[in-house]
């Protein structure tokens, strides 16, 4: 027999861990589990002792609150048994078992050292070893989805309970009295609101039902939170008829229900805000052949940039600025004086768009208005011409839609020009462009502050005042570039909020055809009185069966847009936001008539259109909005507003030493601009700076006077 050569490999004893791991884990569980079980029994029953009262001499507590005399030992029994439970979970390959077992082992160690004052090597060291011996098995264990869901559900209920206390004014005032606590809770709330849904970038857009480089980068298509629906859109209910959707929006007896919380200032601001970035392309452009596919696209900048004021493009911005200004008018926007008040310049002159404004987006609805100007009916033609001649030259094609939106735009026009005057006076060496850009920086940030601290605080059901703190998002996972989604463009169709008639300067204007593209109420009433009037009138209730007859066709148009974009059904969005899907129609609405009509229209609760479902929900107590709309509006408002470039970590904060050196300037806003930002927290603050006799300004607010919460 020959001997093995010196170079031959030697096969030693090896254990295949993949094969034997499970066996070793079970043996370890049996050995350690037996020791833990024995020690549990020993501490429960091995130290017999009489029971003593924790409150001797107290009649009731003394009898009820009794423990074994050796309670220090007896208490260890349940702890050891809890460790056995953790081992059982590890036997089942669940990671949570190791965490339970280890936590209880640390508790045992603490108990022996600080309660029993025992020799730690005899009792504590083995428990550290017990946890350590399971570590090699831990990577192969799995997460318990069932247990994680239960724990997450419990934590969610605890969080909901805690947040519900913020609806109590006294709790909110207590928190706000401690600035550090207020800031921390503000950040917690904002992050919780935004993280209800997946942060951007979304994997889908309206470009295609699949993900591609183009669909992830071409923002002329709308983003989308969820992929396309699997439901045949042609099988969904129509608008008219007993089984149609119209009865869900029209008033059954013609009576409008008012909102208990909101004034007309709320929808006025909401429309101005959203007109800046919700810019869906219409099906028909300039009277051409309608193309439904256009509804999937947009012309948005996807930013809160006040483009209704400044224009959507650099060229439009140039057209809106004062051309070749003298030293006193550096950085200003074009304006005119009417009745002693400042307004934008008119778009038309002598029946034609003025040549200097031909690069602006034409107002939506202008084609129909111009047709009315040529009407054979003299009264119709005269009225249309008066409306046409009062149209303003502005940055947004929707600003002239109703006088409330023109009112908002006029306010920020005045604020920009006021700031440009003040900044220019403090910096006589600056050129026209630098004064303009600095004033715009300040106005945009002030507007975002109003969005959060006036508008969002109005819709929030909390009594706690939410703050526009940019630092909340600086290192947050949701600090990503904006991209407006098609869902967001639909859930902001708040037509039911509009009352049947709106009063301007004591004159009631019915909301009908003659109210649209009509700036005359604003011009005749004036800015100050206009804001006072909007704050004095209640808005209507947002929800089912409350839309003005003249706006019903827009509700159906919105449902159609959702189907053109093949939006997922309503229930999918509830799940997406972490809400339980509705199993019955009365889980969507507590109104029996609404639930019954939903049942007549849809074959299944899982087929309800996104738009129909969100507007049929009940209003959230303390808020003017239904639940799903409130969730989307809040999360999109924060995630769209706070990542604004002007609020970034390297742009917004003042330089070091700024507070201690009054001569130091803020490089983005100037010192004066920074002070103006700090002093602005509501629309009223801006209005008071830009009207005559601000000390006589009446109530201005989105929340009705006397609102006490619900």
Q: β-strands 223-224, 204-205: how paired?
A: antiparallel
- Per-residue pLDDT tens over the stretch 277-298: 999 998 877 667 888 999 999 9
* Cα–Cα distance for residue pair 620/460, rounded to 1 Å: 9
- Per-residue pLDDT tens over the stretch 176-235: 999 999 999 999 899 989 998 999 999 999 999 999 999 999 999 999 999 999 999 999
pLDDT at 122 over 60: no
Query: Which residue, among 242, 610, 678, has the nearest Cα to 446 in the 3D structure?
Result: 678
- Write down the pLDDT at residue 68: 65
- Write down the pLDDT at residue 236: 96
* Cα–Cα distance for residue pair 672/693, rounded to 1 Å: 23
- Per-residue pLDDT tens over the stretch 516-568: 999 999 999 999 999 999 999 999 999 999 998 888 999 999 999 999 999 99
- Write down the pLDDT at residue 552: 92
Burial per residue of 430-439, b for 16 or more beta-carbon CB atoms within 10 angstroms, e otherwise: bebeebbebb
Q: Sorting pLDDT into bands at 50, 70 and 90, what band is 73?
A: confident
Of the listed ranges 123-127, 269-273, 466-470, 611-615, the least confidently predicted one is: 123-127
- Write down the pLDDT at residue 5: 44
Across 234-238, average pLDDT: 95
- Per-residue pLDDT tens over the stretch 45-58: 877 767 666 667 77
* Cα–Cα distance for residue pair 189/174, rounded to 1 Å: 16
- Write down the pLDDT at residue 423: 98
Instruction: Report in angstroms the alpha-carbon separations of 361 from 74, 308, 493, 612.
Output: 80, 10, 22, 31
Name the phi and psi angles at 396, rounded to 5: -115, 140
pLDDT at 151 over 90: no
Share of the chain above pLDDT 90, in %: 76
- Write down the pLDDT at residue 109: 81
Tell me the range of 86-100, 404-418, 631-645 where mean pLDDT is highest.
404-418
- Write down the pLDDT at residue 214: 96
Cβ atoms < 10 Å from Cβ of 257: 13
Query: Which residue, among 531, 567, 315, 576, has the nearest Cα to 403 in the 3D structure?
Result: 531
Of the listed ranges 31-40, 67-76, 332-341, 647-656, the least confidently predicted one is: 67-76
DSSP 8-state code for residue 499: -
Show the 3-state SS of 95-106: HHHHHHHHHHHH
- Write down the pLDDT at residue 2: 45
Burial class (CB in 10 A: 0-12, 13-18, 19+), 708: exposed
Question: Helix 265-275 to helix 403-426 angle, to the nearest 10 degrees?
Answer: 70
Contact 673, 438 (CB under 8 A): yes
* Cα–Cα distance for residue pair 705/531, rounded to 1 Å: 15
């Amino acid at each position: 027999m020959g001997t093995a050569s010196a170079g031959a490999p030697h096969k030693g004893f090896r254990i295949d861990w993949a094969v034997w791991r499970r066996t070793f884990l079970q043996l370890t569980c049996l050995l350690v589990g037996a020791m833990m079980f024995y020690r549990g029994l020993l501490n429960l029953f091995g130290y017999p002792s009489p029971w003593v009262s924790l409150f001797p001499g107290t009649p009731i507590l003394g009898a009820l609150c009794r423990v074994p005399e050796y309670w220090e030992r007896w208490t260890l029994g349940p702890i050891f048994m809890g460790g056995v439970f953790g081992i059982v979970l590890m036997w089942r390959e669940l990671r949570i078992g190791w965490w339970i077992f280890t936590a209880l082992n640390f508790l045992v160690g603490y108990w022996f050292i600080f309660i029993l004052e025992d020799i730690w090597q005899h009792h504590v060291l083995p428990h550290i070893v017990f946890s350590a011996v399971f570590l090699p098995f831990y990577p192969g264990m799995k997460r318990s989805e069932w247990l994680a869901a239960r724990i997450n559900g419990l934590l969610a209920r605890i969080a909901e309970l805690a947040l519900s206390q913020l609806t109590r004014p006294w709790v909110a005032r207590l928190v706000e009295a401690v600035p550090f606590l207020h800031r921390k809770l503000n950040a917690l709330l904002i992050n919780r609101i935004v993280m209800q849904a997946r942060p951007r970038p979304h994997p889908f857009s309206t470009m295609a039902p699949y993900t591609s480089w183009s669909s992830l980068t071409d923002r002329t298509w709308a983003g989308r939170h969820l992929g396309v629906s699997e439901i045949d859109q042609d099988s969904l209910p129509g608008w008219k008829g007993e089984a149609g959707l119209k009865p869900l929006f029209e008033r059954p007896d013609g009576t409008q229900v008012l909102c208990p919380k909101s004034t007309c200032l709320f929808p006025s601001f909401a429309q101005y805000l959203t007109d800046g970035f919700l810019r869906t392309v219409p099906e028909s452009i300039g009277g051409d052949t309608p193309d439904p596919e256009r509804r999937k696209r947009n012309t948005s900048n996807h930013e809160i940039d006040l483009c209704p004021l400044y224009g959507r493009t650099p060229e439009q911005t140039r057209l809106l600025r004062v051309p070749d200004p003298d030293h006193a008018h550096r950085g200003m926007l074009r304006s005119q004086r009417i009745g002693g008040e400042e307004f934008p310049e008119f778009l038309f002159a002598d029946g034609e768009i003025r040549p200097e404004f031909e690069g602006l987006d034409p107002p939506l609805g202008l084609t129909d208005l111009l047709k009315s100007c040529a009407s054979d009916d003299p009264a119709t033609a005269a009225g249309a011409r008066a409306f046409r001649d009062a149209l303003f030259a502005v940055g947004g094609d929707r600003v002239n839609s109703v006088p409330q939106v023109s009112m908002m735009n006029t306010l920020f026009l005045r604020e920009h020009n006021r700031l440009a005057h003040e900044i220019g006076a403090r910096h006589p060496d600056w050129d026209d462009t630098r004064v303009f850009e600095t004033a715009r920086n300040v106005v945009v940030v002030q507007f975002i502050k109003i969005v959060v601290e006036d508008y969002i605080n109005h819709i929030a059901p909390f009594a706690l005042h939410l703050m526009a703190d940019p630092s909340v998002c600086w290192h947050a996972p949701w600090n990503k570039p904006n991209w407006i989604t098609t869902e967001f463009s639909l859930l902001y169709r708040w037509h039911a909020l509009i009352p049947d008639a709106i009063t301007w300067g004591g004159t009631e204007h019915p909301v009908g055809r003659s109210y649209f593209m009509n700036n005359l109420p604003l011009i005749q009433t004036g800015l100050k009185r206009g804001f006072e009037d909007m704050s004095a009138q209640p808005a209507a209730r947002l929800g089912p069966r409350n839309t003005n007859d003249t706006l019903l066709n827009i509700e159906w148009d919105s449902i159609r847009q959702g189907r053109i974009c093949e939006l997922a059904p309503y229930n999918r969005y509830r799940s997406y936001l972490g809400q339980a899907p509705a199993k019955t129609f009365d889980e969507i609405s507590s109104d029996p008539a609404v639930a019954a009509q939903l049942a007549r229209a849809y074959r299944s609760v899982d087929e309800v259109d996104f738009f129909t479902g969100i507007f049929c929900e009940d209003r959230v107590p303390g808020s003017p909005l239904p639940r799903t709309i409130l969730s989307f509006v809040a999360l999109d408002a924060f995630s769209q507003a706070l990542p604004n470039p002007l609020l970034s970590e390297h742009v917004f904060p003042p330089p070091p030493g700024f507070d201690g050196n009054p001569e130091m300037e803020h490089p983005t806003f100037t010192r004066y601009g920074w002070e103006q930002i700090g002093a602005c927290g509501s629309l009223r603050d801006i209005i008071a700076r830009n009207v005559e006799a601000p000390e006589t300004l009446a109530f201005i607010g989105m929340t009705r006077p006397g609102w006490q919460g619900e």
